[in-house]
Structure 1
Amino acid sequence: MTQPARRLLLSVGLALSVALSGTTLPAPAQAAPSGWTQTPKYAAIVVDAKTGEVLYAKRADSPRYPASITKVMTLYLVMEQLAAGKLKLDDRVVISPRAAAQSPTKLGLRPGDSISVDDAMKALATKSANDIAVALAEHIGGTESRFAALMTLRAKELGMDNTHFANASGLPDSRQLTTARDLAILSRAVMRDYPQYYKLFSTRSFEFRGQNIRSHNRLLGRVPGVDGIKTGFTNASGYNIAVSGVQDGRRLITIVLGGPSGAARDNNAEDLMLTGFSVLRRRALGEQITVAQNLFEPEPSGPLTRPSVEQGDTDQDGLKIVLASATPQPKAAAAKPAKKKDEPKTSSAKGKWTVQVGAFKKKSDAQEQLAHVKKRYGAPFTAANGITTAGGGRYRAQFTGLTEANAKAACRELQAKKQPCLVIKPS
């Protein structure tokens, strides 16, 4: 589907996604729809950057881990130092042993190496380099803990009442908490207070010592008008993003926290952003409408487990990513469905029932989900055929050729492990 056609659908409120069955639209957002956006980690907000009006909010004041969006505050304090003349872009920042020892992602500079403030800022905005975040914190605050105290103080002064920083990078720390609303306040403050430096967040790539370092923000260049600002990920937080863009002279800030994958997070943020712009255009024509009235809850997009290099909080093999559930199931509970007598067994018996495991904007994502589910959950789908079907602007990942009993048992097993699925009976 073309972008103009997609935006037209958004503007009339027909749908931002098609339900798993493909036959009906999902319930409106205010009707408590199903999907990963209902999971405990999820929080979101859409704000008009000029007026501060909240166009949409969901768990916007619930405590969340900011992950690498933390670095927006780190950069805010750097910008503050630059504006006050206490720091210059060509000043050198020395890498301490502590900074060099940070977990990936990082530039990997050695203790005693140095980097310019200009390159250091770009490294934070694009690669989300944890070693450079610590080096900047030590350069300005003396120690990272002292710098984190300055971050928290500045947060309170900006009105981020529910935020506390314990480090400059966003690496896991149970004391490091924020909310979607507070991150919107921070994003707005950067644009308002330091517009001359905000363009840093639109950097899609930069060269450093022969390396081309690319931004983790995939919405840059993908969504018309989007020009920043920052992504983040840890196992505890899920996939986070703060994003901003301008259309028709109006700027919106969108925060999405707790996504199960980078693709799901990005698609949800894009949908919220485009819906917000649609609402503003319709209001200009005299309509009384809100984002919630115009928003249909998106289905999961992208595999629910996926390696990440955004924060570096995964195992080295990239396989252990916490799912959307806030509390991981104990092994015994996870294994329980496998012991049920109606569990589907590997069989060559063919049926006419289908199990659907996701609906996606890209065919490649649907195919990737099929491979992921078959590899991870195995037995229920050994005798099934994995196919993708198109319709309503989505590609559905489906396993066909199952008996009714096998289809229902397979879906129960997936749902017990927080994997969305839907049983489709023969037509």
Structure 2
Amino acid sequence: MTVFSKALPRVCVMLGIFMAAVSSAFASEAHIVVNAATGEVLEASDADTLHYPASLTKMMTLYLAFSALKDGKLNWNDRLPISANADGKEPFKLGVGVGKEVTVREAVEGMVVLSANDAAAAIAEKLGGSEPAFGDLMTAQARRLGMTSTVFRNATGLPDPAQVTTARDMARLGIALARDFPTEFKMFSMRYITFRGMKLRGHNRLVRSYEGVDGIKTGYTKAAGYNLVTSVNRGGTRLVAAVLGGKSAQQRDDEMASLLTRFLPAANSGIATAAGAH
């Protein structure tokens, strides 16, 4: 028996585990609602099932960017070059072109409002040296935040079968952004940005339509479905909720609004509903 043949059963087992994880990432819709102050889970459905994060990934890219700004490793006016890798990230991008530059502020605002992929890649290359290396930094930070099921491989959320998360982990990340970067978090409530003379409107419709919503992030790929993490602050109570795998943007937004409406009164009164036992 060769060394390869001895190793083959283990390789097959590992491949089976990986394929099972990938398969489960195509699961049906999942959601969770959390009281951000207490950590109480008010409702959860398939909250620990693996899904593809799509552009919710940029929440972690932004977490690390905010950390670098806080530590002085980045400044808002620093200029970031757009590499060929960054420029090739379709479809949403600032689109300045290869060899051009954007400021850190432009990159951050572009990610928050437009989900700009070239901006995310430029931040990744600046902080990690390369996008794959930055993915390792993202995953390490996820573990520090208690995101035990999440793996990041890129800064954008563009398709990668190994890049997975859960509704619970995404809610944890949303809570961490609001807790650790309260000033920067206010940027998630921006409805549009003005980029080099152009007024550009964002994708997050609940920021405009639901009272008290102050972010956070939308996401979509064909494999992921329609994803959304939302923060609402009303009456002194902050809820963070995640909906993953929606069938359409409208269905996802309606589901999120329904969850928030159901649980804001319970959160404000401090009385858990029967669903809160999850």
TM over 0.5: yes
Which stretches of structure 1, 4 residues or longer, exceed 2 Å deviation after superposition?
287-293
Amino acid aligned to 1:73: M
For residue 85 of structure 1, give the secondary structure of its aligned residue in structure 2: coil
Shift of 1:280: 2.1
Shift of 1:212: 1.3
Residue in structure 1 matched with residue 94 of structure 2 by the alignment: 107
- CA distance change for structure 1 residues 291 and 227 in 2, over 3 Å: closer, same or farther? farther
For residue 51 of structure 1, give the secondary structure of its aligned residue in structure 2: coil
Deviation per residue, 1:120-149 (Å, 9 max, x gap): 100001110111111110011110011010
For residue 207 of structure 2, give the secondary structure of its aligned residue in structure 1: coil
Residue in structure 1 matched with residue 77 of structure 2 by the alignment: 90
Residue in structure 2 matched with residue 276 of structure 1 by the alignment: 263
Residue in structure 1 matched with residue 23 of structure 2 by the alignment: none
* Equivalent runs, 1:330-409 vs 2, <5 Å: none
Amino acid aligned to 1:254: A
Deviation per residue, 1:290-323 (Å, 9 max, x gap): 4469xxxxxxxxxxxxxxxxxxxxxxxxxxxxxx
| Structure 1 residue corresponding to 2:273, chosen from 266, 289, 297 | 289
Residue 279 of structure 1 contacts residue 291 of structure 1 at CA under 8 Å; is this kept in 2? no
Residue in structure 2 matched with residue 211 of structure 1 by the alignment: 198
Residue in structure 2 matched with residue 364 of structure 1 by the alignment: none
Distance 1:211 1:288 in 2: 46
For residue 33 of structure 2, give the secondary structure of its aligned residue in structure 1: strand
Residue 279 of structure 1 contacts residue 290 of structure 1 at CA under 8 Å; is this kept in 2? no
| Structure 2 residue corresponding to 1:236, chosen from 208, 223, 227 | 223
Amino acid aligned to 2:245: G
- More helix as a share of residues: 2
Distance 1:97 1:247 in 2: 43
Residue 42 of structure 2 contacts residue 273 of structure 2 at CA under 8 Å; is this kept in 1? no
Residue 70 of structure 1 contacts residue 169 of structure 1 at CA under 8 Å; is this kept in 2? yes
Residue in structure 2 matched with residue 251 of structure 1 by the alignment: 238
Amino acid aligned to 1:226: V
Residue 276 of structure 1 contacts residue 291 of structure 1 at CA under 8 Å; is this kept in 2? no
Whose Rg is larger? Answer: 1
Residue 77 of structure 1 contacts residue 151 of structure 1 at CA under 8 Å; is this kept in 2? yes
Amino acid aligned to 2:194: E
Task: Give the alignment's Cα RMSD to 1 decimal.
Answer: 1.4
Distance 1:233 1:247 in 2: 27
Which TM-score applies when normalising by structure 2? 0.88
Residue in structure 2 matched with residue 121 of structure 1 by the alignment: 108
Deviation per residue, 1:322-378 (Å, 9 max, x gap): xxxxxxxxxxxxxxxxxxxxxxxxxxxxxxxxxxxxxxxxxxxxxxxxxxxxxxxxx
Deviation per residue, 1:273-297 (Å, 9 max, x gap): 111102224x44xx5524469xxxx
Deviation per residue, 1:68-109 (Å, 9 max, x gap): 000000000000000001110010011011111112111112
Distance 2:274 2:236 in 1: 19
Distance 2:108 2:130 in 1: 18
- Say whether residues 1:199 and 2:186 are aligned partners: yes
Distance 1:122 1:70 in 2: 15
| Structure 2 residue corresponding to 1:182, chosen from 169, 184, 194 | 169
Amino acid aligned to 2:98: P
For residue 209 of structure 2, give the secondary structure of its aligned residue in structure 1: coil
Residue in structure 2 matched with residue 352 of structure 1 by the alignment: none
Residue in structure 2 matched with residue 265 of structure 1 by the alignment: 252
Residue 171 of structure 2 contacts residue 240 of structure 2 at CA under 8 Å; is this kept in 1? yes
Shift of 1:240: 0.3
Instruction: Identify which of structures 1 and 2 has the higher relative contact order when contacts are C-alpha pairs closer than 8 Å and 6+ apart.
Output: 2
- CA distance change for structure 1 residues 288 and 263 in 2, over 3 Å: closer, same or farther? closer
Shift of 1:208: 0.6
Residue in structure 2 matched with residue 169 of structure 1 by the alignment: 156
